[in-house]
Structure 1
Amino acid sequence: DESDLINSALEAFDRGDLDDAIVMAREALVNNPSQINAVILLSRALIYRSYQDYDTESDRAAALELTTELIQRYPTNLDLRAAHAFALQANRQPAAAADAARRVLEENPDHGLARVSLALAYAVAGSNEFALRESLQAVRAHPTMMDAQRALAISYGDNGNYESAVHSVESAIGLNGRLIPLYFERALYALQLGDVDSATYAYMQVLALDSENVKARLRLCELSSLLRERDAAIAYCTAVTERAPSWADGWYQLGREYFLQGNFEAAQTNLHQCSTLQVMQEIPVEERRLECWYLQGQAAEIRGDCPTLLATYNEFRAMTANSDIAQTWAYPPEGPPGCTNAAPATSNQAGGS
């Protein structure tokens, strides 16, 4: 029955199995669309899963859609309102999240998820001292609440106290040792401390929990590149492009790595894939990884490949002409040195937003 499904979904969440938690919570909602506990659990599981891999970000919007819909029917339910606040901050709406969380706390000052949501709303808004105050209060009241320990880690990290961030995220991991996003956050704080070994170990933990995780492979590629472990970097980034051929970031990182190694032809090929994907996917110009054009052009210039350099440069100029980004790539009016007759950029040349 419904309560069994929700209990099973909760157990799945507590062992870090977000996919199962989401499936069972959705099943409970099919049986009873007004099941508030199922919506609360489902939205929370979706939010955590959204940080799990490269293609799960849309889960955050799905979580907010869920809570927004149900809160119209049950506007007085405090747990639902706290879950809604949690979804709002995850979707980078800090003012609305803080307002929703405060209203819950006015009625129940000890509401753990509301306090966590308020702390995270402050964090999203960049009010780091307030975020730390609220997350400390959440942990004091709910020391065994994973969300509270994670919020405290985020607050410590935002305040530059990475040792304490590590301590808090490890407390969160102690409460749910199979929740993948916690390991990405653990790695981030380790890197801020220059602790490459701990960061590597955290990413390896992700792969131990999810052997096909693409995001962990990209992070390991970046880390290997940083350590100048060239073969490992190429291997990890190649694995990213094989598993996620439509993710521009993987092609960028692979192209960049080839560039750093002096293999400029391979750099051009992979960076071209990165720029092409971003145009095809109609990513707004302001959000594009423009290095894919710039480094591609640099590689072409080094190789003396004038046709590709001019095509890439003119595409870049046309693409950025009407956008708010700072112009980061400019040659003299006559074109790049050694390549004359650069065609003037026109609005229809390439790469619409």
Structure 2
Amino acid sequence: MLKLATPWISLEIEYHDNDLPVIDRALRSIKELKSSAALDWLLARLCHYPVCSVVPRKLTIREWLRGALQEPPLHSQKSRKLATGLGIQELLSSAAHGNNVLPVDEILALARKPGTRSYDALSLFTQLRVALCAYNTATEPEPYEELFASSPSGFLKFAKIYIRQNHFVTTRAIDSLRPALACKPFAHLLTQFIASEQGHDSLMWQSLMALDGPDPADIEILPEVQALVALLEFTATHYRLAFAVVLDLFERESPGEQHPLAQVLLKSEQGKNAALGLARHTAINHHMQHDEFGYRLASVLPYLRETSALATIHLADAGLRLREGIRRKMHDLLILHLHHPTSLTARTPV
């Protein structure tokens, strides 16, 4: 097992014994800050992870003839109208005015095609993915085990709130994704993805109904969860690369083959049934390689003009702030249940 760590992500990578010589040469190249065929081989196997970014490729005649991705400015009337209809006008207004935490100029410079004012879609996607990972505030696993040990009933109460947030996302997912089918370059890929999302709301419902407590409809959905789903639909309608980035924010929340919450749920009799739907949902996402899907969508898109590149970064930044808001509120709720297990109801997350 090869362990690779950066300030924003840690990976454990399986390899065959006959790969050892080339891995050794690749690591030597990294240490010496030199390029090599061995390093290219290693990076090619890591391309779907935010370990590194894709260097912008030269603008070819074929690309030039194909033309740039055409998208409206964030402040256009069309965008403002859609944002208002989805209830995220304030979020988009802030994004359009450049209130960002991401290093906009640095990301643009790294994704710009050599000698042009055009931007490589795949390069920009990977630059953003690295930047988004660098701003991940979750540095330690959530204390699910600790909460379960101190208060099994408090843990089950928290689990129901957590699963309800996921249930809301799965009930809105397909309708939020469909507008992006109008983008011909990735319509076929997206059709496959949408098919794999069918039935996930039923899996989440199965988990919810296995837990005691209030009707799921009475459990509050975090405003940030609602806004992030609306942002997915907004980008699906007008901003194709931003759509790939926001979709990646959802899918990279997947923890792998086993969900850590489901693992703890299995330790209680009531939790065993609740774990089934959540575990199945996670297993399908892992099997279908949903964490690679944003990368695959970005890889088939044409180049971008500067207005589209800027809009993509601003929308990614908005998604980042929403994701971190969700993570922070759910963490605070977990800690409250841990220290005051009888003082909270399952209705109100915060």
The TM-score with structure 2 as length reference comes to: 0.26
The TM-score with structure 1 as length reference comes to: 0.26
Larger Rg: 1
Which has the higher relative contact order, 1 or 2, with Cα contacts under 8 A spaced 6 or more apart? 2
